[in-house]
Amino acid sequence: KAGVTQTPRYLIKTRGQQVTLSCSPISGHRSVSWYQQTPGQGLQFLFEYFSETQRNKGNFPGRFSGRQFSNSRSEMNVSTLELGDSALYLCASSFGTSGVETQYFGPGTRLLVL
Amino acid sequence: AQTVTQSQPEMSVQEAETVTLSCTYDTSESDYYLFWYKQPPSRQMILVIRQEAYKQQNATENRFSVNFQKAAKSFSLKISDSQLGDAAMYFCAYRSNTDKLIFGTGTRLQVFP
């Protein structure tokens, strides 16, 4: 079974631009979660989607948004990029029927904001 | 609020030896789950082992085992017969039914031949 895939793997943007990252979950998984990883803040939860609905949200500004499609694929969008948004963005999927299922992670998208 | 603490930023071990990584957590919940994830230089987060809080028996996965002390809120990971491929960042994580997955700050494990 194919794992979680994320595209693109690397991205360079400039301040003020916006960016969209994509995540395709493992087949059969309906829950997708997004995390931001930085050297200073570590791993921080962004949001979780299940069946096209946001189920949980972390403490990030409104510039960070996401959505999930009917095929469970998810996108996250960051508008008006800031230098501090440079990070590794990780996506994880699970079946979603129980809140404590194991999450399986994708390889991440490394975003650099100049 | 729930927190996860990994007090060892770095650890090192000789190949074939045993190493233990520490993790403590704070929660008022009685039903929760604990995880150890490994993140090698490729940055892909890989599940190492999982422990359900309601289970008294410590989880084991081949060379990896945990020492789960619920009363002490401690969840350490023991790696036996360490291999060069075990070198990575190890993250302890917590999740309850009503909360998101919360990670510790990680422990960088170096394995020397």
Residues of chain A with pLDDT under 50: none
Q: Which residues in chain A are closer than 8 Å to B105, comparing Cβ atoms?
A: 42
**C-alpha to C-alpha distance for A78 and B20, rounded to whole angstroms:** 39
pLDDT of residue A40: 87
A104 with B47: Cβ contact below 8 A: yes
Nearest residue to A86 via CA among A40, A32, A22? A40
pLDDT band with cut points at 50, 70 and 90 for residue B31: confident
pLDDT of residue B97: 74
Exposed / middle / buried, residue A18 (Cβ in 10 Å: 0-12, 13-18, 19+): exposed
Q: Which residues in chain A are closer than 8 Å to B42, comparing Cβ atoms?
A: 107
At which residue do the structure tokens 């929660």 appear?
A: B27
* A22-A24-A25 Cα angle (round to 5): 135
pLDDT of residue A98: 66
